[in-house]
Amino acid sequence: EAQVTQNPRYLITVTGKKLTVTCSQNMNHEYMSWYRQDPGLGLRQIYYSMNVEVTDKGDVPEGYKVSRKEKRNFPLILESPSPNQTSLYFCASTDPSRTREGYTFGSGTRLTVV
Amino acid sequence: SQKIEQNSEALNIQEGKTATLTCNYTNYSPAYLQWYRQDPGRGPVFLLLIRENEKEKRKERLKVTFDTTLKQSLFHITASQPADSATYLCALGAGGYQKVTFGIGTKLQVIP
């Protein structure tokens, strides 16, 4: 089954404790992206990657890092999480050459930073 | 600044009627527009894409229109069913996929 897999689904952590949210897709998509979703603000792009070793900032990159060492994986790293990073996070991927297809999203990671 | 507006209030309609959701935008020249469905706590699911040079797209009970003069897209669900109850997001893309901007969504409730 074609899918984007995020782990973990739920995470509660303390301020300052580094964490990584993993994202993997099995569709050989070149393009991957991370979003956070907050009530009243909608989905906001954090980082995106056009291909292996090619990443760039989205609208809200502060406090986050990403890497794209393999085509299928695009982990999101919070080096020193803070309470304002409490949110619902989504990873998404797409094949830009298939212009009739939109993003395929993961199931989400609900992060709470206390 | 770029702005996408969707009805922030929930839309309640009777089963069997046509639901119409609106997506307006300002300070934007999108090359395409997408619609997604999102259920509570789940990731958005892609429904339809329409390009700037297309007026209308259809898929089963779904219809999307795109008016670049009015800067508006309308999303219709005909013969609505309770299973159509969800939040619907519009998203605008300027060209490639590096910059796709989402609206906050409209919550649709179909009443049996």
Query: Is the peptide bond between A39 and the residue preceding it cis, with omega within 30 degrees of 0?
Result: no
- A16: its two tokens: 């300052």
Average pLDDT of the segment spanning B69-95: 93
| B21: Cβ contacts below 8 Å, ≥ 6 apart | B6, B7, B11, B74, B75, B76, B88, B106, B108
Q: Over the stretch A18-67, which tens digit does the pLDDT of each residue have?
A: 999 999 999 999 999 999 999 888 899 999 999 999 999 999 999 999 99
Beta carbons of A99 and B49 less than 8 Å apart: yes
Mean pLDDT of chain B: 91
Taking one residue from A and the other from B, the number of pairs with CB-CB distance under 8 angstroms is 60
pLDDT of residue A37: 96
CA of A6 vs chain B CAs: smallest distance (Å) = 11
Confidence check: pLDDT of B56 > 70: yes
What is the number of residues in chain B?
A: 112
Q: Does B44 touch chain A (CB under 8 A)?
A: yes
Beta carbons of A96 and B44 less than 8 Å apart: no
pLDDT of residue B99: 73
CA–CA distance, A104 with B35 (Å, rounded to integer) = 13
Within a 10 A sphere around the Cβ of A36, how many other Cβ atoms?
23
CA of A83 vs chain B CAs: smallest distance (Å) = 20
- A18: its two tokens: 């580094």
CA–CA distance, B81 with B95 (Å, rounded to integer) = 34
CA of A107 vs chain B CAs: smallest distance (Å) = 5
Confidence check: pLDDT of B96 > 70: no
C-alpha distances in angstroms, A109 versus A36, A80, B28, B57, B108?
Answer: 9, 17, 30, 33, 24
Q: Which residues in chain A are contacts of B52 at CB distance < 8 A?
A: none
Average pLDDT of the segment spanning B52-72: 94
